[in-house]
Structure 1
Amino acid sequence: MKLVITIVQDEDTNKLIQKLNENKFMATKLASTGGFLKTGNTTVFVGVEEEKVQDVIDIIKSVCKTTKQMSLLNQPIASMTEGYISYPIEVTVGGATLFVIDVEQYLKI
């Protein structure tokens, strides 16, 4: 058995859970926050038999797409002890980050 841990943007969560459920995959979701953009994410956990892992990955790929957006980067000003200057940078957002790990033991009590 494997555990697929997927981090997705909040706006993709409902569609992803719906698609997983339509394909008979049960999922657990947790709210999370990204460290770079400080925006809301959702971490989705799916326990699945090893032969079904690629099916789960294919569903995630079909739902979670990347886009580009402008974000403000706060850069410290070297000559000031306290102060930052913000300037826009283009970043790629969306898509999904996946971890597939072995499950040593699975119990449903």
Structure 2
Amino acid sequence: MYRVNGYPVIEALDKDRDPVPLKITHDNPYTDAGRNKGPAPLTLAPGESATAHLHWTNRITSFDAARQGAYLKVAPAPGEAARIRPFFLDIGTDAQLDVTAWGAKFRPE
């Protein structure tokens, strides 16, 4: 059994695997991610998985060059081992990424 509770730790990396600065928010009620009910203990049996949803808008708020992510680095919780996966992230200059809590399934209300 494996237990998760809370939010994944998310970091974006560019094509050279250097960090892309992000402003992480949680459960923004104005995005689709707002359907998530927030953190709750979740116990996973072998072979089961948890999901978390990401939401961003390619919002340009300055004349600075926008950095793009080529990978996501994801850990189940602070201090735990992370995995890196290819993931194109065109985050704009706002660089705001909304992340939901871990959940078994997300159901529309």
Which one has the bigger strand percentage? 1
TM-score by length of 2: 0.27
Identify, as 1 or 2, the structure richer in helix. 1
TM-score scaled by length of structure 1: 0.27
